[in-house]
Amino acid sequence: MRQDPRRRPFALATALGLVLGACAAPRPATLAIRDVTVVDVVDGTLAPGRTVLVDGDRIVEIGASGEVAIAKRAEVVEGAGGFLVPGLWDAHVHSAASLDWHFPLFLAHGVTSVRNMHSTVDDALALVREIQSRLEAGTLAGPRFLANGAIVDGDPPSWPGSVVVRDAEEARAAVDRLADGGADFVKVYDRLTPEAYAAILERARERGIPVDGHVPASVRPRDAAAAGQRTIEHGIGMTLGCSSAADSLRAEYRGFLERLPQMPPYPDAVAGHFQWVRRAIETRDAERCRETARTLREHSVVSVPTLVITAASGPEALLADEAWTSLLPASVREGWRAMSAQTDPIAEALGSTAEPALDNVRLLHEAGVPILAGTDVGNPFLVPGRSLHRELARLTEAGLSPLDALRAATLSPARTFGLEDELGTVEAGKLADLVLLEANPLERIENAGRIAAVVRNGRLLRRADLDALLARAAAWTPE
Ligand SMILES: [Zn+2]
């Protein structure tokens, strides 16, 4: 094509502009991670030789190291040989009442966001709202904190501190109170009646507040999916949905609820529930499992299987492992030792359910149901941060690739919780929650635990800072 001479000055100006641009003053930045390999969790590609600029709480530029100018005032991290991934999520924790030792451990393990699922305190919502405002004001260091306040359960509830609803009217009122009070979501629980459950889901839809949690024992998993429950915890949907005796088990559960008021709350009531779960697992049918997984997929339900709570190695192994026990405050370590010496009614009722739990996750993953990494930290024998890395490994044992497992702690939670414009990938414009790893997590998911530095909301924590956080957690003593 013949060149139009009139266009040349413009072309020249453009070329000059590009040159000038490269030599121009560097973009303002408070932090630069130089020469790092950026891991794209969307497609699993690696971009080596990148420099990532952060200004304040945001990633502002990512480019080839030779082409990105670093402002003089920026703090520089040498990223050569390292891999940069988005900050990790633990999508199922109970931490509101244990901040002082949980939060440093989360940050030290690269966990920059959590979803808190209930705390057994009098006013759980007031407590989590206070935590959120302290985090926002910067007077508390910890992960981003999505939270529900109290769980909503039937009468009598499984746990103290629950919001108890007996019928549709109370259910709607409970949703209104939680929504008005600023809860990020509603958590539903085991003992809700089908009527109350349906009313919660309906009112929550009207109020625009998501509903996460257990599938109540009296509700069919496919009805929970169709009603719009966003996440199902602990693989409960599959446990119940896979059972060939589901209908008779549901009828039996009504009998259990009627006997409950006469039972001592612990351990009989707890063991009774888990004996019932055990029977659901014993009547597991592979075709029903696949059908349930397909139904959950159709209704865009997200699964948070918390495999780490059914991990094959029990409390004794954990308590014998210095790598785990050294992280714990002495009072917690001693408390867990005392607990491990007693029989656990839940473990006794359930026996080992690790195998079907892994198989269910494999079926969910094959069906295309998004999986989130969550741990149930706050329960005994689960260590904030460290257990999340264990969960990632368990997910790969269930058949997820290391990339899939990494997504389960980054992109998938960000999408599920409506935060993908802000979090979940390493991209310019997003909030600066980042983890710098010493080795490639896509080769071995265990490499996600080899942490050189963490950035939480733009604030850099180098290895020495992370070690100081570990020491602070271990030194914590109850008041
Ligand atoms: Zn939980």
Which pTM value belongs to this model? 0.93
Distance from Cα 93 to the centre of ligand 1, integer Å: 6
With residues binned 3-state (H G I as helix, E B as strand, rest as coil), the percentages for the chain, rounded to 5, are: 45, 20, 35
Report how far ligand 1's centroid is from the alpha carbon of 284 (Å): 23
Query: Ligand 1 center to residue 273 CA distance, Å?
Result: 15
Q: What pLDDT was estimated at residue 1?
A: 39
350: enclosing H helix or E strand: helix 345-350
Ligand 1 center from residue 234 Cα (angstroms): 8
From ligand 1's centre to the CA of 417, what distance in Å?
Answer: 17
Query: pLDDT digit string (tens) for 298-324?
Result: 999 999 999 998 765 578 889 999 999
| 162 closest CA partner among 120, 126, 196 | 120
Residue 122 CA to ligand 1 centre (angstroms):
17
Q: Rounded to an integer, what distance in angstroms lies between the CA atom of residue 141 and that of residue 103?
A: 7
In a domain, 35, yes or no: no
Give residues whose Cβ lies within 5 Å of ion ligand 1: 117, 376
User: Is 189 within the bounds of a domain?
Assistant: yes
CA 119 to ligand 1 centroid distance, Å: 9
Residue 309 domain boundaries:
88-422+462-474
Question: How many domains are there within the chain?
Answer: 1
- Compute the distance from residue 477 Cα to the ligand 1 centre, in Å: 24
Tell me how far apart the alpha carbons of residues 386 and 446 are, in angstroms, rounded to a whole number.
11
Q: How far apart are CA 365 and CA 343, in angstroms?
A: 34
Q: Does residue 60 belong to any structural domain of this protein?
A: no
Q: Residue 233 Cα, ligand 1 centroid: separation in angstroms?
A: 8
d(CA 91, ligand 1 centre) in Å: 10
Rounded to the nearest angstrom, the distance between the alpha carbon of 64 and the centre of ligand 1 is: 43
Provide the CATH number for the domain around residue 470.
3.20.20.140
Residue 56 CA to ligand 1 center (angstroms) comes to: 34
Give residue 313 CA to ligand 1 midpoint distance, Å. Answer: 19
Burial, 264: exposed, middle or buried (Cβ in 10 Å; 0-12, 13-18, 19+)? exposed
Residue 148 Cα to ligand 1 midpoint, Å, equals: 12
445, part of any domain: no
CA of 309 to the centre of ligand 1 (A): 10
118 vs 397: CA distance, rounded Å? 29
Q: Could you give the dihedral angle defined by the CA atoms of residues 290, 294, 295 and 299, in that order, rounded to the nearest 10 degrees?
A: 150
**CA of residue 377 to ligand 1 center, whole Å:** 7
* pLDDT under 70: residue ranges of the chain: 1-24, 311-313
Backbone angles phi, psi at 152, to 5 degrees: -110, 120
Going from the Cα of 94 to the center of ligand 1, the distance in angstroms, rounded, reads 6
Q: Are 39 and 46 in contact (CB under 8 A)?
A: yes
Residue whose C-alpha is closest to residue 448's, from 477, 408, 418: 408
321 assigned to some structural domain: yes
CB atoms within 10 A of CB 229: 28
CA 112 / ligand 1 centre spacing (Å): 19
* C-alpha atoms less than 13 angstroms from C-alpha of 261 in its C-beta half-sphere: 5
What distance in Å separates the CA atoms of residue 432 and residue 56, rounded to the nearest whole number?
Answer: 8
pLDDT at res. 428: 98
**Confidence (pLDDT) at 479:** 80
- Classify residue 122: in a domain, yes or no: yes
Q: Are 379 and 95 spatial neighbours (Cβ–Cβ below 8 Å)?
A: no
Give the pairing of strands 75-78 and 83-86.
Answer: unpaired
288 CA distance to ligand 1 middle (Å): 26
In 3-state terms, what secondary structure has residue 440? coil
Taking the centre of ligand 1 as the mean of its atom positions, its distance from the CA of residue 458, in whole angstroms, is: 29
* Distance of CA 116 from the midpoint of ligand 1 (Å): 8
Write down the pLDDT at residue 313: 59
User: What is the whole-number distance in angstroms between the Cα of residue 387 and the centre of ligand 1?
Assistant: 14
Distance 307 CA to ligand 1 centre (A): 12
Q: How far is the CA of 40 from the centre of ligand 1 (A)?
A: 30
How many Å lie between the centroid of ligand 1 and the Cα of residue 236? 12
Torsion of CA 346, 350, 353, 357, to 10 degrees: -70
Residue 412 counted as domain residue: yes
228 touches 203 (CB < 8 A): no
Would residue 236 count as lying in a domain? yes
**Rounded distance, CA 255 to CA 472, Å?**
48
pLDDT score for 12: 44
